[in-house]
Amino acid sequence: MEHIAIEVQPRAHHNTKSERKTMRRVGQIPGSLYGKGIDPEPVVIGAKDIARILTSETGTNTLVDLTLEGKKHLVRLTNLEVDPISKALQHVGLQKISARDPQKATIALELEGEPEPVRLNEALLEFSTTSIDIRALPEQLVASLTVDVSGMQVGDVIYASDLKLPNGFELLTSPEAAIVSVKMAKVSVDVDDIPAAEGAEPAEVAASPAANEAQSPETHG
């Protein structure tokens, strides 16, 4: 797997809100370096470096060679905090990992092919689960896995347990989770478009008793 190299700078343990806002204004994002064997360390990381990682082929599963004050660490991006209103990145976690220890990761799923019933507009393809959770060694992590749906027929379902995972991958998502299914398309029928049976007479609408009484001539004794 390709690595991305970045350098971060230390920051004060307790920055004020104003200081953090100033950091972001100049393209620096507050972060925390943490992990096994090290004490948590507040850092600042360039917004452009974060963008390079997030837009890389493997996204948040990218392995990052991080340098802090001359010391190198293998890390992954975690706990991205985003402002709910402005959508601006507020803080990022940098988890130190070991290349020898399996890591939990979320892998996106991409569909390949098109079932014939779907192509003929006779059925619908329902993509229920768009990602799965796995555990694997860091160097084995990938951006996505492909699910071939070209041979599916109406009623078929592909479950998580049916996925062909690379060697070394441990599935953490429930094996019974439905990934994708092919369902019969619902057809709406307009009753006005249904032809009447041959020889059938138009249905008469029965008048109410009150209406019949109103239409009958009065009889006088």
* pLDDT value at residue 78: 92
How open is the CA angle 140-9-23, to the nearest 5 degrees?
110
pLDDT at residue 70 above 90?
A: yes
Q: Which one, of 99, 100, 97, 102, lies nearest residue 37 by Cα? A: 97
Same fold, 3-97 and 104-184: no
Name the CATH architecture for the domain at 104-184.
Beta Complex (2.170)
The token duo for 115 is 């079932």
Place of tokens 């008048």: 207
Give the pLDDT band of residue 20 (cuts 50, 70, 90). confident
pLDDT at residue 121 above 70?
A: yes
CA distance 27 to 103: 30
pLDDT at residue 213 above 60?
A: no
pLDDT tens column, 164-212: 999 999 999 999 999 999 999 876 555 565 565 555 555 554 444 444 4
CA distance 147 to 134: 16
Cβ-based neighbour number of residue 52 at 10 Å: 15
CATH 3.30.930.10 fits 3-97, yes or no: no
Q: Which one, of 125, 117, 135, lies nearest residue 178 by Cα? A: 125
* pLDDT value at residue 8: 97
Could you state, in order of their start, the residue ranges of all structural domains in the chain? 3-97, 104-184
The token duo for 125 is 């393809």
